[in-house]
């Protein structure tokens, strides 16, 4: 990862440039309608290490077998694991869902998260992350998709791009990146920037072999500058040395 030089004004400028450039390339994504927050949370838990398609298959099967969350909470972990198996890591995901449902019922008396609509962003994130199985990223993704909150969720693609682009430090964790980037994202554009950075990370600024030559941001990108510097340091052997080597007798 690249050393970054971040001041609030540079961060703001770079994030705005990124948001505008990505809008030109990918457009403005339409926001889904407000969703049930507990449904969105379970979908987020099912998303780990799988495709959207398999996540949806698992969620639909879960809803088919357990028409309400009380029925799911009453089920055994094995039954839940079978229902969500198409998303992979069935046992692990079933355990997390079951543990959250039980915790929610104990804490709030009912299996619903709609009361979060009355809370501020900070309060809603704090309430969700009180459960030890829910991290900052899961809380942000859930609230960003389920409501019209202007929250910027940092996933693996966004964390990687932010590191390369010098928006966060080399040691900044994805969790910490939420508080480091969020305040500087252009107002009202967190969802748009999140979705477009995902598309950018999947198509251009890929984990392996980023397509820097196709990237509109390379002039502003410390990672690209660093690559160029390294390449220009690989000076070819001077001609005279090469000629001498060619003439050296072979044993």
Residues forming the site for ligand SF4 (CB under 6 A): 164-165, 204-205, 210-212, 215, 217-218, 221, 223-224
Contacts of 154 (CB under 8 A, 6+ apart): 137, 140, 162, 174, 177, 178, 181
Closest to ligand SF4 by CB, 35 vs 227, is: 227
Closest to ligand SF4 by CB, 146 vs 198, is: 198
Query: To the nearest whole angstrom, how small is the minimum distance from the Cβ of residue 190 to ligand SF4?
Result: 19
Q: Tell me the DSSP string of 18-59.
A: HHHHHHHHH--PPPPPP--HHHHHHHHHHTTTS-HHHHHHHH
Closest to ligand SF4 by CB, 101 vs 204, is: 204
Query: To the nearest whole angstrom, how small is the minimum distance from the Cβ of residue 34 to ligand SF4?
Result: 33
**How many H helices and E strands in the chain?**
13, 0
Between the alpha carbon of residue 132 and those of residues 10, 44, 86, 136, 168, the distances in Å are 35, 15, 25, 11, 26
Query: To the nearest whole angstrom, how small is the minimum distance from the Cβ of residue 226 to ligand SF4?
Result: 9
Query: To the nearest whole angstrom, how small is the minimum distance from the Cβ of residue 48 to ligand SF4?
Result: 24
Closest to ligand SF4 by CB, 151 vs 161, is: 161
């Amino acid at each position: 990862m690249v050393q970054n030089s971040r001041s609030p004004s540079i961060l703001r400028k770079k994030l705005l440039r990124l948001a505008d450039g990505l809008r030109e390339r990918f457009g403005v994504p339409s926001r889904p309608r407000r969703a049930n927050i507990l449904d969105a949370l379970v979908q987020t838990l099912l998303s780990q290490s799988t495709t959207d398609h398999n996540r949806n298959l698992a969620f639909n099967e879960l809803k088919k077998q357990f028409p309400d969350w009380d029925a799911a909470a009453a089920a055994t972990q094995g039954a839940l694991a079978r229902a969500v198996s198409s998303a992979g890591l069935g046992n692990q995901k079933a355990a997390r869902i079951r543990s959250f449902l039980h915790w929610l019922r104990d804490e709030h008396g009912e299996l619903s998260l709609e009361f979060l609509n009355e809370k501020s962003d900070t309060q809603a994130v704090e309430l969700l992350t009180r459960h030890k199985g829910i991290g900052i990223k899961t809380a942000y993704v859930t609230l960003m998709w389920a409501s019209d909150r202007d929250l910027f969720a940092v996933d693996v693609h966004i964390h990687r791009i932010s590191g390369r682009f010098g928006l966060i430090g080399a040691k900044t964790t994805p969790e910490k990146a939420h508080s480091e980037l969020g305040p500087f994202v252009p107002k009202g554009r967190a969802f748009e920037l999140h979705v477009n950075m995902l598309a950018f990370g999947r198509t251009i600024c890929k984990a392996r072999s980023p397509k820097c030559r196709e990237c509109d941001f390379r002039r502003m990108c410390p990672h690209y500058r660093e690559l160029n510097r390294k390449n220009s340091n690989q000076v070819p052997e001077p001609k005279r040395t090469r000629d001498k080597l060619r003439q050296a007798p072979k044993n």
